[in-house]
Amino acid sequence: MSRLAFVFPGQGSQFIGMGQDIARSCPQAREVLGLADQAVGFPLSELMANGPSEVLRQTVNTQPAVVAHSLAVLAAVRARGLEPYVVAGHSVGEYAAVAACGALGVEDVLRLVHRRGHYMQQASEMQASGMAALIGADLKSAEALCAAVSVTAPVQVANLNSPGQVVISGAESALNEAVRRAADFRIRKAIRLEVSGAFHSCLMEPAALRLAEDLRRTPLQAPRVPLVANRTALPVTEVEELRQVMSEQVVSRVLWEASIRHMLDMGVTHFLELGPGAALAGMIKRITTEALVMSIQDTPSLDKAMQQF
């Protein structure tokens, strides 16, 4: 018997036109985008549809846009009768997973995500910072590189995405030094990412503190299906634990490879990436060849996926 995981992408997967095709073909998806506009207090769906791209790329807008698209796709998938055995999301995608597991409604999730983006953008403006992907790195080489360049400013491992791909995060000066010296640590390539700050690092502590306060006031429900958390790579089933991992996630490592491996151990046979892009599907395919992995972001990709069920 197949076991299905829904996984949700994070920041960096956004594009102009996101969500529009699925909304045209599915009234449930269209309703989600309307709720998103209400939740954030401005026409987010119009920004998703038409840009401009420099405004969509701003963290305060990108994060709710990505989650809104993911939740619109989720609504369309559910309208076709599919439900998950387990859920997970990469970075801000974890908030889409919170909605998917039934712990929080669409509007409340999007309000939280909008605040999260605002807090993280403000934290990013306090110090020049960023992220870089290390291709051909493992945890040991990435940590050695970070230690070597963190004498005067912090750089740390942020994401363990898949075999041979580690993302580091930190202050601009030290991050540039890490990119320059990556080859010294037998890392094949270091690529700066187009993000506005050092996400999942200690530089996001101001955002984590403000988000924790918001989460204390948020009436979460116990997940109806397990959510495998970025911070622990383990299922969360209790409200207080969910509240904790959501607030701590912005300063913690994203243990994505370990999360996927845990879901495989749970018996997952099918992974559906719901939302913009196909980055997670690519990562999962590098982790396992045993499961069926597909991305759904529009009506044609949904139709194709449904042929497997």
φ, ψ dihedrals at 197, nearest 5°: -165, -175
Structure token pair of residue 56:
């969509």
* DSSP 3-state of 135: strand
Please report, for the chain, how many H helices and E strands are present, in that order: 14, 10
* DSSP 3-state of 246: helix
Q: Find the length of the chain.
A: 309
Segments in the chain forming alpha helices (H):
20-25, 27-40, 44-50, 53-56, 59-79, 93-100, 106-126, 139-149, 172-181, 205-216, 239-248, 256-265, 279-287, 299-306
Cα angle, residue 201 at apex, residues 73 and 228 outer, rounded to 5°: 40
- Calculate the CA 71 to chain-centre distance: 13
* Distance from C-alpha of 154 to C-alpha of 172, rounded to nearest angstrom: 9
Active site residues: 91, 200
Give just the sign of the alpha carbon dihedral 136, 154, 64, 18. Answer: negative
Strand partners, 130: 170
